[in-house]
Chains A and B, each alone.
Chain A
Amino acid sequence: MTESPAATVTNVLLCGIGGQGVLTAAELLAQAAVAAGHDAKKTEVAGMAQRGGVVTSHLRFGPRVLAPAIPDGEADLLLGFEAAEALRWIGQLRRTGKAVVNGLRVKPPVVHQGLFDYPEDPIGMIRAVGVEVRVVEAWDIADSLGNHRLMNTVMLGAVSDLLPLSADDLRERVVAVFRARKPALADLNARAFDAGRAAVTAAPEPVAAG
Chain B
Amino acid sequence: MNALTDIAVGGRTLFSGNEAVARAVWESGAALATAYPGTPSTEILETLARYPDIRAQWSVNEKVALEVAIGASLAGARAFCAMKHVGLNVAADALMSQALAGCHGGLVIAVADDVGLSSSQNEQDSRHWGRFAHLPILEPAEAQDAHDQTLAAFELSEQVGCPVILRLTTRVCHVKTLVTVGERQAPPARGFIRDSRRWVMLPSNAKAMLPRQDERDATLTALSEDSELTTLLDGIDRSLGIVASGPAALSAREALPDTPVLKLGQTFPVPVERIRAFSRTVDALLVVEETEPLIEQELRAAGLSVHGKDVLPKHGELSVAVLRRAVAAWRGDADSVGAAPAPAGPDPSVFPRPPTMCAGCPHLSPFYCLSKLRRSTLIAGDIGCYTLGAGHPWQAMDTCTCMGASMTMAQGLAAARSGEDATKAVVSVIGDSTFLHMGMQGLLDLVYNRANVTVLILDNRTVAMTGGQEHPGTGFDIHGAEAPRVDFLALVKAMGVKPDRVHSVDPYKLPELFQLIRAETQVPEVSVIITDQPCVLTDRHQPRPALKVVEEDCTGCGGCINTGCPAIQVTRRETTTTKSGKTKELAFARIDSAFCTGCNACVETCAPNAIVPLDPSAHPRLERV
Contact = CB atoms under 8 A, between A and B. Distances in A.
Interface stretch (A49-57, A189-197, A200-208): A49-57
Given A1-B236, A51-B357, A53-B354, A69 B39 contact: no
15 contacts: A1-B236, A2-B257, A34-B178, A42-B176, A46-B119, A48-B355, A54-B346, A68-B247, A71-B254, A72-B345, A73-B341, A87-B350, A110-B352, A112-B569, A114-B570
B356 A113 contact: no
Interface stretch (B185-193, B560-568, B603-611): B560-568
A41 B178 CA distance: 8
A46 B40 CA distance: 8
**Closest 3 interchain pairs by CB?**
A47-B119, A73-B341, A91-B344
Interface stretch (A115-123, A130-138, A165-173): A115-123
B236 A66 contact: no
B321 A66 contact: no
Contacts of A18: 355
Nearest to B39: A47
B250 to A, nearest CB: 4
Interface stretch (B46-54, B157-165, B167-175): B167-175
Contact of A109 (B171, B247, B350, B392): B392
Contact of B393 (A30, A41, A43, A109): A109
A128 interface: no
A74 interface: yes
B352 A116 contact: yes
B594 interface: yes
A189 B355 CA distance: 29
B350 A119 contact: yes
A66 B253 contact: yes
Contacts of B324: 71
B4 to A, nearest CB: 15
Interface residues of A, number: 60
Given A66-B250, A109-B392, A110-B354, 12 more contacts: A2-B257, A41-B177, A42-B14, A42-B176, A46-B39, A72-B344, A72-B345, A73-B321, A87-B347, A91-B345, A108-B356, A116-B351
B119 A48 contact: yes
A179 interface: no
Contacts of B254: 5-6, 66-67, 71
A66 B251 contact: yes
Given A1-B236, A72-B321, A109-B566, A89 B346 contact: yes
Contacts of B257: 2-6
The SS class assigned to the B binding surface is: loop
B467 interface: yes
B570 A112 contact: yes
Contacts of A53: 353-356
B93 interface: no
A54 B234 CA distance: 39
A177 interface: no
B14 to A, nearest CB: 6
Nearest to B570: A112
Interface residues of B, number: 64
A6 B566 CA distance: 41
B320 interface: yes
Contacts of A48: 39, 118-119, 355, 465
B274 interface: no
A69 B570 contact: no
A122 B350 CA distance: 9
Interface string A83-108: 01101111110000000000000011
Given A18-B355, A87-B347, A43 B561 contact: no
Contacts of A112: 561, 568-570, 587
B393 A113 contact: yes
A17 B350 CA distance: 14
Contacts of A66: 250-251, 253-254
Contact of A43 (B14, B175, B342, B564): B175
Nearest to B388: A51
A140 interface: no
Contacts of B27: none
B251 A1 contact: no
Central interface residue in B236, B353, B392, by most chain A CB within 10 Å:
B353
A45 interface: yes
Given A1-B234, A31-B14, A44 B352 contact: no
Contacts of B358: 51-52
A201 to B, nearest CB: 28
Contacts of A161: none
Contact of B392 (A51, A71, A115): A115
A51 B356 contact: yes
